[in-house]
Amino acid sequence: MNVLTFLGCWLIAFSVPAADRTFQLQSPNQQLHITVEVGNQVRYRVSHNGIDLLQPSTLSMTLADGRTLGRNSTFRKQTLASANRTVTPPYGISQTIPEQFNELRLDFRENFAIIFRAYNEGVAYRFATNLRDSIRVQNEEVQYRLAGDWPAYFHPSEFLSSFESNYVYKPLSQQTQQSSLPILAEVPNGVRLAFLESDLLDYPGLYLKRDSTQTSTLMGLLPAYPKVVEQGGHSKFNMLVREREPYLAQTIGMRAFPWRVMAVAQTDKDLLNNQLVYLLASENKLGDVSWVKPGKVAWDWWSANNLTGVPFKAGFNTETYKYFIDFAARNGIEYVNLDEGWSDQFDLLKPANKLDMDEVVRYARQKNVGLILWCVWHTLDRQMQPALDQFAKWGIAGVKVDFMDRDDQVVVNFYERLLREAAKRKMLVNYHGAYKPTGLQRTFPNNINRESVKGLEWNKFNPQGITPEHDVTLPFIRMLAGSMDYTPGAMTNMNKENWRMIFEQPMSQGTRAHQLAMFVVYHAPLQMLADAPTAYEREPDVLKFLAAVPVTWDETVPLDSKVADYVTIARRKGDAWYVGSMTDWTARDLSLKLDFLGDGTYQIEVFRDGPNAERVGSDYVREVKTVRKGETVAIPMAAGGGWVARFTK
């Protein structure tokens, strides 16, 4: 049911003094409260159950012609609205999303508005302009004056960045680095605050940094419009900005700008199904998207194509990819990814010499397996029309686009341009070397997944690799923004002492069960099986489970979880439930109350850490038994361990 009404009973406007106005806005459950003061400046504050989260914080937008919207602006009118409706995404972590909010729109005589929304799950605001001509935005003032020097998880990142770093946990007063979003702060009373943005279109992305003059204040930073760029970076896959313009964006004058979002959760586990970023994004612009098919992907790059026990030399050749296609077809895996090496990186119309693309695409079509092609972003940008036309002629299902590593207006617009062109040819797009999700998956559902995470691949080339502690931090922070292409599924699993960085024969830190649990805990509508087909074929029970686990869900139930320590999530697809649990380097014994199950008897298939998993990470135990709703199941996890189960009636 969709309901949008205009109300006045829950919002009060009054003058203090006559030249100023103050407005109050509450969330539907009346726990979150926004106070907006309009005078020479526009300031707002946020409280939760009477406790301040944000002290009065200013906001404004400066245009290149000298106007500053929100400073010495003339208030004209207020518009009040409320919504209580159900959003039905084409895919996601739940079949439906309830959306309930109260909204305040403040219009000013200078032809702009500031819109505030209060949800039970958080608050947000955005600018909207109604200016006839195009405009240049010189600066946007984003300020969060937190009510205390609280500890927070930051994600250090520069404007030219892979958006793939470790989270840094420290008090606000000790944070000196610029951070990309999301950022998660911990309030002493247990409330969690996450800073995000949504509906980022035709505009640069937002970063936050502590204001050096105010201990507990975060200030917004945005990359200016690129003026001079040159090819460079890793293997010249990047376009590096050498000089920038004195403005952020040049854009149309009649538009809404990105939402500045603060998600609020009363417990850690409440972060695991907060979907504010999706709800605040623009609705689907593609029309019919029934052709968008989520699924699993057999991936070649992690394992370096190291097939074993095959009668041919594995590599970037026709025989290898036919084997991948056969593997996918036998196990109901929807896609095969052809990563770096299938073509000339700077000419997508030139496949590798040992790869007969016509034969590979014919074979994949015969086996009903979709192909996804990796591309350097600026090569695809330069060759977009001929390359996509050739891909469409081949019947390619999608593209994996890499090494953007920026989120200024030029790159943000590339994302949208590619999604529109790919949609014309019914192709999926998976962005790697990408900035954080901002709801684009709702606006363009063919944006099937996004990396923007320090994922499993870092075990190939980083001496510290990816730790289990990092793994159990991601669901609460990075995944709060949207789906995540971490690329799980390593079959060589090592403890902390024995792990090594080996590019051609990579391994994961932690246990086999830790990796398997990722397929439930990590939401990825395009989910990679990172390791080699022959590695999975040596473990038929594991392969059978991975072939069956869904990539989208009808319902998500967060369970006992703590940021950076452990996570447990239950997800339902049809009548089947899946539960995934992961821990850091601390062994844990958790318990699972089966209150989420329906009535009747369920068969439970469990993959858990074996008795020797702390020494040999690949040691696991598979168990099958029957359970009923209300029973309690033990979840024992070794250091770096995990536990995953499927419940079927």
Q: Which residues are catalytic?
A: 402, 457
DSSP 3-state of 404? coil
Residue type for position 551: V
Element (H, E) at 358: helix 357-367
Phi (first) and psi of residue 367, to 5 degrees: -90, 0
CA 399 remoteness from chain centre: 18
Instruction: Report the alpha-carbon distance of residue 399 to residue 380 in Å, rounded.
Output: 10
- Taking the C-alpha atoms of residue 604 and residue 589, their distance in angstroms, rounded to an integer, is 19
Exposed, middle or buried: residue 61 (CB in 10 Å: 0-12, 13-18, 19+)?
A: buried
Q: What are 495-504's contacts with CB under 8 Å, separation 24+?
A: 495/614, 495/615, 495/616, 495/617, 495/639, 495/640, 496/585, 496/639, 496/640, 498/617, 499/459, 499/465, 501/459, 501/460, 501/461, 501/462, 501/463, 501/465, 502/460, 503/304, 503/460, 503/461, 504/304, 504/306
Three-class secondary structure of residue 69 per DSSP: strand
Q: What is the DSSP string of 254-309?
A: EEEPPEEEEEEESSGGGGGG--HHHHHSPPPSSS--TT---EEEEESTTTTT---S
Structure tokens at 448: 């099937």
Cβ neighbours for 362, distance < 8 A, ≥ 6 positions apart: none
Could you give phi then psi for residue 552, rounded to 5 degrees?
A: -130, 160
CA distance linking residue 54 with residue 105, whole number of Å:
20
CA 460, 461, 465, 470 torsion: positive or negative? negative
Bridge partners for 470 per DSSP? none
Cβ(44)–Cβ(22) under 8 Å? no
DSSP, collapsed to helix, strand or coil, labels residue 102 as strand
Helix (H, G, I), strand (E, B) or coil at 2: coil
Type of residue at 418: L
Nearest-angstrom CA–CA distance, 282 and 200 = 9
- State the burial class of residue 642 (Cβ atoms within 10 Å of its Cβ: 0-12, 13-18, 19+): buried
For residue 224, report the phi and psi dihedrals to the nearest 5 degrees: -70, 165
Could you tell me the CA-to-CA distances from 315 to 39, 175, 235, 318, 355 in Å, in that order?
Answer: 66, 45, 20, 9, 10
In this structure, are residues 515 and 533 in contact, taking their beta carbons and an 8 Å threshold? Answer: no
Torsion of CA 209, 244, 160, 257, to 10 degrees: 60
Residues facing 135 on adjacent strands? 251
Burial of residue 541 (number of CB atoms within 10 Å: 0-12, 13-18, 19+): exposed
